[in-house]
Structure 1
Amino acid sequence: MFLLNWFGGNSNQSGKNKKKKKKQNVVQNLNKTLINPMKEIKLFGHSKMGYGPKKTECQDSYCTMERFTEDCYFFAVYDGHGSSGKEASQAANDYIQTFLEKNPKRIKALQNDKQRESFLKSAFKNAEAKLRSSGIDYSNSGTCAISIFVVKNMCYIANLGDSRAVLFRQTAKEKLAIELSYDHKPTRPDEKERIIRCGGKIERLIHDGQPVGPYRIWADDEGPGIAMTRTLGDLQAKKIGLISEPEVQHIELTKQDKFMVIGSDGVWDVMSSAEVCGFVLKHEPKESVAEAIVTECRSRWDEMNKQKKTNSKIGDLPYLKFGCDDITAVIAYFTFIDELEDNYFQQQRY
C-alpha cells in the first residue's frame, strides 16, 4: 500500500501551511539510526515530444549532474510554454547548470539549510535576469522548473509551476510515495492572494460565452492568461504577481529512501505519484526506467485521445482539445553506505 501527500503534495491545498510545517518537523525528527552516509546517486533521464495542433517542437528539457562538486548532485526538469518556450526551457537549464558549475567554493562554504536554500534561489534569480537580458522575447513565454540539489544526505527541492517531485520510501510497515512539491496554481489560496493583491484577476477563459479550461491569471481581457503563478520568464505576468522565486523544501535522506522521480506535467497528468513509484519498482534495468515511464505515459495519452476523454485535452478551445503534452522524467536511485562500510571508512581515516 502506498501513502500519498506526506508533505501535503498537490492533491489538497487546503490548510497547506499548517500541513507543511507539521510534515517537515516529522522529517527532521527521523530516527538517527536510519541516517547512513550517502554513497552515490545514479541519475537517468528521458524526454519525448508531444503532438497536437500547432505542436512543432519539444519544449521540455532536463539536467543531470552527478557529483559535480564534492558530495553534491543536481537534477532538474524544465517545462517550457509559449512561442519561445523551447528557448526558455533550454536557456534556464543552461543558466542554472552553469551557475552551479562556476561556484564550487561557494557551495562548499554553505553550512546550513538556510544558506543552501538561499543559494538555490540565487541560481534561479540569476537565470531570470539572464532571460530578461537575452534579447529573446519572453513577454508571454517561459518555463516551469522542478529541481533537486543534494548535499551529502540533505536534499533541497526547488519548484516553480506544476511539475512534480516524488520520493519513494520503504519502511518495515509500509511503502510511501511522498510528494515533495506543491503546484503553483491560481486556485492555491496563498498564490491567489498575491496575484489579487498585485492587481491580477483569476478567471477561466471565456469561449462562446462559456468558461473553459483551468483558472488563469489576467491583467485584462487580452492576457496574459497563464495557468501558473510562478515561472521563469513570462515577463508580462510579472506585473500582476507572477514571480520567479522558487518554493524550496528540504528533507534529510535516509536508508529507507530508495529513489526519487521528477517530471513535467506530461507525466503527472496521466499517472499518479503512487502509480509511478509502483511502475519503477517493477521495472528493470534501472538504466531504462526513465524512458519506460515516458513511454508508458505516452501510451496513456494516446489511449485517452483514442477514446476522446475530456481530461486528455492540452488546450482550452475545441480545436486544441486532443493531443499529447511533452513528457519528461528523471529518476534518481539512492545508495547509502552500510554499517560495515562505514566502519571500514572510519578505520581508514584514522
Structure 2
Amino acid sequence: SGEAQRIRQRRGRIFALPEEPEVARVWLPKYNSPGLAMARAFGDFCLKEYGLISMPEVSCHRVTEKDEFIVLATDGVWDVLSNTEVVSIISRATSRASAARFLVESANRAWRTRYPTSKIDDCAVVCLFLNTHEADQPSSSAANNL
C-alpha cells in the first residue's frame, strides 16, 4: 500500500508480532519499539522521521434529510465493525444517550471474538444525532483496554 511504501522509504519497518499476526505495526529502524499499529497518528513524534504522518484521511458526504446520525470513532471500532454493522448497532440502541456505549461494548465483543489472542484496541465513540425533533443529547463513550 501507499502507507507501507512511504514508511519503508523513510527507513521505518513494518511487521507483526508472532502473538498478534493480524496486526501490522510500524517500528523504528534499529529498535523493536514502539510498534505502533497505524501509519497516521497525532503526537507520536519518534516515528515521524520514519514515515508516520498526522495528515488524516478525509472524505466528504452531503448530509440529507435521510441521514439520522454521524458516528466518529477510533480505529479500534472500525477495525472490527463495518459501516453497516455500526449503523445497525446504533439503530438498535435503547436510547440516544446509550448509543455510543452500546457501540463501544459491541466493538469490544467483536475484538474478543475476532482476535481472541490480541489486546483490545482503544474504542472511543461520539454519536451526533441529526434529527433535532428528539430532545436527547449527543452520546459519547470510550473504553481503553490496552
TM-score over 0.5 (shorter chain): yes
1:314 equivalent to 2:118? Answer: yes
Larger RCO: 1 or 2 (CA < 8 Å, sep 6+): 1
Deviation at 1:231, TM superposition (A): 0.7
Distance 2:18 2:106 in 1: 34
Letter matched to residue 123 of structure 2: I
Deviations 1:207-255 (A, max 9, x none): 7xxx845222231243332221111122221111111222222222111
Report the Cα distance in structure 1 between the residues aligned to 2:58 and 2:30, rounded to whole angstroms.
31
Could you say which residue in structure 2 is the equivalent of 1:237? 47
For 2:75 and 2:2, how far apart are their aligned partners in 1? 21
More strand by share: 1
Q: Which residue is equivalent to 1:24?
A: none
Is there any run of 5+ residues in structure 1 with no aligned partner, and where?
A: 1-188, 316-323, 337-350
Partner AA of 1:327 in structure 2: C
Distance of aligned partners of 1:325 and 1:259 in 2 relative to their CA distance in 1, 3 Å threshold: same
**Structure of larger gyration radius:** 1
C-alpha separation between the residues in 2 aligned to 1:266 and 1:217? 17
Say how many residue pairs are matched.
132
- 1:298 deviates by 4.0
Indicate whether 1:198 and 2:7 are aligned: no
CA displacement 1:111-153 (0-9 Å, x = unmatched)? xxxxxxxxxxxxxxxxxxxxxxxxxxxxxxxxxxxxxxxxxxx
Greater fraction of residues in helix: 1
Counterpart residue identity of residue 15, structure 2: E
Q: Of 126, 135, 138, which aligns to 1:330? A: 126
The correspondence of residues 170-209 of structure 1 with structure 2, limited to 5 A, is 189-205=1-17
Runs of 4 or more, structure 1, over 6 Å off, are none
- When normalised by structure 2's length, the TM-score is 0.70
- Whole-Å separation in 2 of the counterparts to 1:285 and 1:334: 14
1:297 & 1:201 partners in 2: Cα distance? Answer: 29
1:225 aligns with 2:35: yes
Matches within 5 A, 1:1-350: 189-205=1-17, 212-218=21-27, 219-300=29-110, 304=113, 311-315=115-119, 324-335=120-131
CA RMSD of aligned residues (A): 2.9
| Aligned twin of 2:138 | none
Identity of aligned residues (%): 33
**Inter-CA distance 271–259: structure 2 relative to 1 (3 Å threshold):** same
Residue 16 of structure 2 aligns with an amino acid whose one-letter code is: R
What's the TM-score, normalizing by structure 1? 0.33
Closer, same or farther: CA 326–284 of 1 in aligned 2, 3 Å: same
CA distance in 1, matches of 2:38, 2:2: 13
Distance change >3 Å, CA 274–CA 228, structure 1 → 2: same
